Amino acid sequence: MALIELRWHGRGGQGAVTASQALATAAIIEGRYAQSYPEYGAERRGAPVRAYTKISTDPIMDREPVINPDIIVILDKSLLVMPDVLSGLKPNGYVVVNSRTPVAVNGARVVYLDATGLATKLLGKPIVNTAMLGAVARVMGDFMSIDSITAALAQYFGGKILSINRELVLKAYEATTL
């Protein structure tokens, strides 16, 4: 069984939950099993939010929080100071951070992307979730097709917003280097 688990850390309004759901939808498009679910604290814009994504070649029977993720996605670099954000990362796991500059995390492979800059340029707003999906797709490599991710966006967006978000995912994918 191939299982990849992701834990998303963001702030309310950045789209962590939607990104987690879109990634799960992309996995289902590819014929895999997937789960996505949020964990909320105080439900208000700007408050820390967690979301979880599990993708597997076999049915997923548990709905527990992701304790030992393969990939940690951080939509707001300021969350790095929180003690539990980086906890449990598997050996050789990835941390994908929304940052204009490189970020060092002990014992982790770090990938960074200026998702805020890309989102502001294309969307006119710093809603970074779809840009971070592009970075996650780059990290996942052959396990997840970028085409499935852009196709999954149609479940969450429509019209011009869909088109812009698809473009944002592709630009973020291209801008992300491992």
Is a pLDDT exceeding 90 seen at residue 153? yes
Contact (CB, 8 A) for 138 and 97: no
pLDDT at 83: 84
Place of tokens 């939808």: 25
Residue 15 to residue 132: CA distance in whole angstroms: 10
pLDDT at position 88 is 96
* CATH superfamily of the 3-175 domain: Pyruvate-ferredoxin oxidoreductase, PFOR, domain III (3.40.920.10)
pLDDT at 104 over 90: no
Q: Which range, of 37-46, 66-75, 95-104, 148-157, averages the lowest pLDDT?
A: 37-46
DSSP for 29-95, written as a single string: HTT-EEEEEEEESS-STTSEEEEEEEEESS--------SS-SEEEES-GGGGGSTTTTTTPPTT-EE
Confidence label for 42 from pLDDT (cuts 50, 70 and 90): low
pLDDT (tens digit, 9 = 90+) per residue, 119-148? 999 999 999 999 999 999 999 998 999 999
Residue with the bigger pLDDT between 42 and 105: it is: 105
- Name residue, tokens 């990104």: 19
Domain residue ranges of the chain, discontinuous segments joined by +? 3-175
Read out DSSP for 106-117?
TTSEEEEE-HHH
pLDDT tens digits for 70-90? 999 999 999 999 889 999 999
Mean of the pLDDT values across residues 4-22?
Answer: 94
For 18, list phi and psi in degrees, rounded to 5.
-65, -40
pLDDT for the residue 149: 97
Burial class (CB in 10 A: 0-12, 13-18, 19+), 67: exposed
